[in-house]
Chain A
Amino acid sequence: MSRWIVWSPLAIFAVLVGFFFKGLTLDPSAQPSALIGKPVPSFQLTELHTGRALTSQTLPAEPFLLNVWASWCITCQVEHPYLTELSKKLPIVGLNYKDSETAAKNWLGRLGDPYTTQIFDPNGLLGLDLGVAGAPETFLVDSSSIIRLRIQGEVNDRVFQRQILPLLETLK
């Protein structure tokens, strides 16, 4: 009994170290999306350039990235060159989130347009249904429009290699 009591602080310490060690590699601002495994919510919006109606039925029938961005978003500008590179490997659908039409068009004109389609969502309606907390966010969607992965913040080569690519390979 007394031996047990003598050793218990060490045991408690060890458990705490375990938790803290795990905490070192956790990102407290990254939250799992509530929509993983669920279809892209239904929406009725327009294409930024053509103005044609877009719904969840018009999404690509192959795995694609849904990238939430806005012209006011600095990190979106940072990840843009990498997305341009990525667009050679898989389709990227843009979700222009809470932006103005002219600002969005100017931004794409200036930095290039890697998107296959641009969903124009000035009021953040689809953004809300997707549980978007802020731009940029990127979703990996499979060929039957099921959301498989959510990336909050910048997509770069590390994120692609570690998180997106392994999942993407299982989808193809």
Chain B
Amino acid sequence: MTKILLIKMVMIFSIASYATIETYQFDSPEQEARFRQLGFELRCPKCQNQAIGDSDAEISGDLRAVVYRMIKEGATDGEIKEFMVARYGRFVLYNPPLDQQTIVLWLGPAGLLILGGILVLLRIRRSTKALDQRESQ
């Protein structure tokens, strides 16, 4: 029983192929590292939630080729991201810059945390006050 379960669990993972098969030749390990990093940071425009380095979609392969070509041509990471955003919009960035459109995204979690903290503090103060009152009676 557990064996079958184990096999099934392994099968779940075999569906997604985590390795991309293309081979690219780089001039330096540093270029290759940048290629990998950009592969994680750029989002596949056709997929719901996959990076181009992680996706088998045709368009992801095309965009990897573009990233490779631009790295070889000496473009900076910023230039490559700009190139992608100009064509595919903000959607392609997994790490969007802070501005009016993304401010809720960036500050929302911290804001909620602070709000929660304030609520907890208020509650604690109230209950300790109530406790003090009871003790003083």
Contacts and interface: CB of A to CB of B under 8 A. Distances in A.
A131 interface: yes
Interface string A24-61: 00001101111100000000000000000000000000
B66 A134 contact: no
A129 B83 CA distance: 9
A34 B45 contact: no
A60 B102 CA distance: 38
B66 A133 contact: no
Contact of A129 (B48, B87, B91): B87
Given A29-B48, A128-B66, A134 B58 contact: yes
Main secondary structure of the interface of A (DSSP, over half): loop
B87 A128 contact: yes
Given A128-B87, A131-B87, A31 B45 contact: yes
Contacts of B62: 124, 128
B89 A31 contact: yes
Given A28-B48, A131-B45, A134-B46, A33 B89 contact: yes
B59 A34 contact: no
Count class of interface residues, chain A:
10 to 19
Contacts of A132: 59
B85 interface: yes
Interface residues of B, number: 17
Interface string B63-90: 0001000000000000000000111111
A130 interface: yes
Main secondary structure of the interface of B (DSSP, over half): helix
A153 B46 CA distance: 11
A130 B45 CA distance: 12
B96 to A, nearest CB: 13
Interface in B15-29: none
Contacts of A134: 46, 57-59
A27 to B, nearest CB: 11
Nearest to A31: B91
B87 A32 contact: no
Interface in B117-137: 122, 126
Contacts of B58: 98, 134
Contacts of A130: 87
A132 B63 CA distance: 11
A136 to B, nearest CB: 13
